[in-house]
Structure 1
Amino acid sequence: MARKLTLDFLKTEAASGAALALAAIAALIVANSPWSADYFGWLKSYHIVQIGPIRLEETISNWIKEGLMAVFFLVVGLEIKYEIVRGELSDPRKLATPVLAALGGMAGPAAVYLLLSGVIGAPHEGWPIPLATDIAFALAIFGFVGRGLPSSLRVFLLTLAIVDDLGAIALIAILFSEGANWTPLLWALGLLAVGGVVAHRIRIPTPFWVLGFAAVWHLTVQSGLSTSLTAVAFAMIVPIKPRVEDGQSPLKEAIHDLHPWNAFLVLPLFAFAKAGVSFAGLSLEQAFAPLVIAIALGLFFGKQIGVFGAAWIASALKIGARPTDASWLQVYGVSLLCGVGFTMSLFIGVLAFPGAVDSPEQVEVKLGVIGGSILSALAAAAVLGLAGRGRRPDVVERP
């Protein structure tokens, strides 16, 4: 039974990667076709959702980013909780390694960018752009090449990317935020605290979990912070212990129910909304501008140096431990994969260089992020494919 659940999960993961890749390719084609104006107009169009006195008005792009992607981060948070309590990360040293690697993965790109800034004259304010790993695209690529690799590597990547994402959000709050609205944020934290206590005392029916998540999500939107933060926090209060009456784990049930929606609706829509970049009017000089080179090399070299270096040092000093059954070559492949920095990097680029979407700086930011991400993805696929050749896939029980 455990083997069947594992194989079904991996098949869904691989199919999800294919759907994500097709959606990203479709976005690039549409963005550079006669329908590009309709595509970008659709993303910028506002849509209103109103339930009684609660009214939210956001663009399609923001509904996908802050709405649907909250479901993605909820599922990721549930998986990480399972691994911390019952799986790979229950060993504190195995948990320390991806956390420290994530910190190294932020320091490395910043150092590479600032070094190049002094050498080739890239704008100094662009240094935060290559710091973030795009967890959705990174996991999709791993789904293509990870079938013969130990499952601990996926957990390592998942945890690392979450910590990296939270670090990027904190960086945005420090460098670019005008301040959060603390009242709704405190209400959200209060709901999480109450929900965590109640959930471990009595059984909460599924509709109340849905309402609770919706309430926390709405309060987070009102606070002005990223919903990914509270989505992961909400996952932490979902009980993992099986219920007495039916022996089912609420956490496992939630993962089982949400994973297909995540795989075949949330992530493909996200890719279609975020991967559409127009190359109209691009010149060769602009394609190799200092800003483009600094961002691309920050993602490609900075990420692999920072992530792999921090993971190796943590293991050497006995602070952390290498993922179970994984070789250092495989860890290096995952370090390369962390250079895929699409969505959050583009978002930071908008904040670092405010202006029109077709301004020279914004075009160069997109070129740098896309270039560095593609280089990292191709190199990671090659290394992980080589490292996993001839190896039997690990079959372990998934939540």
Structure 2
Amino acid sequence: MPDTPVTFTDRIRRFWSSPAGGASVLLLTSLAGLTLANSPWAAGYTALITLPVKLSFLGARGPENIDAWVSDGLMTLFFLVVILEIKKEIVSGHLSSLRRIALPLIGAVGGMVVPALIYLLVTYGHPEAARGWAIPVATDAAFTLPIILALGHRVSPGARAWLMALAIFDDVLGIVVIALFYGAALYWPALVAALIVTVALVGANRAGVRTLWGYALGCVLLWAALLVSGLHPTLAGVVTGLCLPATAPAMHNRQTAPVDKAASMLAPVVTWGILPLFGFMNVGISLMGVHAGMMLKAVPVGIMTGLLIGKPAGVFGATMLATRWKITTLPAATSTGMLFGLSLLCGIGFTISLFIADLAFFGSDLVVPAKIGIFAGSILSALTGWLWLRFRL
């Protein structure tokens, strides 16, 4: 029988369901924001993203405009999806044993410590710049996954799973860093309220509650409490994701587990809505007054060296030490050369790095140099990693 021709609709459906599709839309919306911010319509773009949207009952710490609602509100769902993905992998995927979890987790820790130290070393003597130490610590899974899928057989399935797990652990550790180091002064009554809601979510899990609406309500209440408490409110997504049951009821094995149900509902919203919106609003920086000499300033140099050198050195070094000390083993069909190339790709820090840059340098003139350093470091990391895996192996 002749092969059925691939229609335009089939191509659109494949694009919609592929990781490359989501990454492409995120890249296009980010470029659109950057273009508008440097066009004759820059004033309209700025007015749009700073459009006042404030709810009085949230108090002085509530989001005040559309940009803040995306970063402090909608991004909670992004972090929730991240936790759901890693929970699924731990329950029944590539991270279903301690030895499988150990390798990407150790690599993620090394990939956070080394770039942070390099950044602090480069920015030594610049107290204000030092606040951005966490910017180069995260790997963006939205961009690394399409690259390794495009490389096909040059990256083994085990190595692909390792990199994705590492990127997710990176994001989780990045969330913890944001909550601990980039919050406001703590307000203890709200912190106690957040603890009560967290206990209620844990109790619902223990009691076998499988209704998503109950957890959704808990997430909203926790978000509001954390917003007032001084901790970053996106932490609500992490806590809710951890509390969602990962298995279906014992008597109803054919039912979908709450984790899977929530992930299938939220992942398209995050991929095609929230992340593109975040990129559109956060990459749109004015390049007026930017010159080549700015790239030699402490902040962009610290971020670029952290991403381009610190990330692969930390990830590759920690991973090789873990295998040398017999803590765990490399994934099947994965050579040290392949591991090094994937470690280079870990320097693609985009979503979380931009997120931390806005928190670290809010209201400062260092935010533009920081974002330029993120762009440059991420692009160079993507190019070096792809070239190594494409031609060196």
Match of 2:170 in 1: 164
Tell me which of 71, 91, 102 is aligned to 2:77. 71
Match of 1:146 in 2: 149
Partner Cα separation in structure 1 for residue 246 and residue 15 of structure 2: 19
Match of 2:6 in 1: none
Partner Cα separation in structure 1 for residue 304 and residue 212 of structure 2: 44
Q: Which amino acid aligns with 2:28?
A: L
2:305 is equivalent to residue 297 of structure 1: yes
Match of 1:195 in 2: 201
Tell me which of 244, 264, 286 is aligned to 2:272. 264
Deviations 1:171-222 (A, max 9, x none): 5566665532233233333323332332343443332232122122222222
Q: Which amino acid aligns with 1:97?
A: L
Contact 2:120 2:133 in 1 (8 A): no
Contact 1:342 1:369 in 2 (8 A): yes
Partner Cα separation in structure 1 for residue 177 and residue 300 of structure 2: 21
Match of 2:368 in 1: 363
Partner Cα separation in structure 2 for residue 176 and residue 265 of structure 1: 25
Partner Cα separation in structure 2 for residue 227 and residue 325 of structure 1: 41
Match of 1:59 in 2: 65
1:128 Cα offset (Å): 0.6
Partner Cα separation in structure 2 for residue 260 and residue 141 of structure 1: 18
Partner Cα separation in structure 2 for residue 325 and residue 230 of structure 1: 38
Match of 1:318 in 2: 326
DSSP 3-state at the match of 2:247? coil
Deviations 1:68-114 (A, max 9, x none): 11111111111111111222112212212222222211222233334
Deviations 1:341-386 (A, max 9, x none): 3354445555655654xx3x44332322221121112223334455
Q: Which amino acid aligns with 1:312?
A: M
Tell me which of 245, 251, 254 is aligned to 1:247. 254
Match of 1:397 in 2: none
Contact 1:31 1:277 in 2 (8 A): yes
Change (3 A) 1:129 1:32: farther
Partner Cα separation in structure 2 for residue 67 and residue 325 of structure 1: 42
Aligned length: 373
DSSP 3-state at the match of 2:53? strand
Gaps of 5+ in 2: 1-12
Partner Cα separation in structure 2 for residue 240 and residue 348 of structure 1: 30
DSSP 3-state at the match of 1:89? coil
Gaps of 5+ in 1: 1-6, 390-399
Contact 2:210 2:245 in 1 (8 A): no
Change (3 A) 1:343 1:20: closer
Partner Cα separation in structure 2 for residue 335 and residue 253 of structure 1: 32
- With structure 1 as the length reference, what TM-score do the two structures score? 0.81
Contact 1:122 1:291 in 2 (8 A): no
Tell me which of 116, 132, 135 is aligned to 2:137. 132
Change (3 A) 1:141 1:101: closer
Partner Cα separation in structure 1 for residue 95 and residue 307 of structure 2: 27
1:151 Cα offset (Å): 5.0
2:286 is equivalent to residue 286 of structure 1: no
1:332 Cα offset (Å): 2.5
Q: Which amino acid aligns with 1:16?
A: G
Larger CA deviation: 262-271 vs 193-202? 193-202
Match of 1:47 in 2: 53
Deviations 1:51-81 (A, max 9, x none): xx66744321221112111111111111111
Larger CA deviation: 98-107 vs 302-311? 98-107
Q: Which amino acid aligns with 1:208?
A: G
Partner Cα separation in structure 2 for residue 259 and residue 347 of structure 1: 19
Larger CA deviation: 172-181 vs 192-201? 172-181
Tell me which of 76, 79, 99 is aligned to 1:93. 99
Deviations 1:26-70 (A, max 9, x none): 1121121112222223222321347xx667443212211121111
Q: Which amino acid aligns with 2:282?
A: K
DSSP 3-state at the match of 2:18? helix
DSSP 3-state at the match of 1:88? coil
Partner Cα separation in structure 1 for residue 185 and residue 333 of structure 2: 44
Contact 1:71 1:262 in 2 (8 A): yes
Tell me which of 118, 131, 145 is aligned to 1:112. 118
Partner Cα separation in structure 2 for residue 86 and residue 11 of structure 1: 22
**Aligned counterparts, 1:346-357, within 5 A:** 346=354, 348-349=356-357, 355-356=363-364
RMSD of aligned C-alpha atoms?
3.1
Percent identity over paired residues:
35
DSSP 3-state at the match of 1:241? coil
DSSP 3-state at the match of 2:95? helix
Match of 1:212 in 2: 218
- With structure 2 as the length reference, what TM-score do the two structures score? 0.82
Partner Cα separation in structure 2 for residue 320 and residue 183 of structure 1: 44
Larger CA deviation: 95-104 vs 105-114? 105-114
DSSP 3-state at the match of 1:225? coil
Q: Which amino acid aligns with 1:303?
A: K
Change (3 A) 1:370 1:166: same
2:386 is equivalent to residue 381 of structure 1: yes
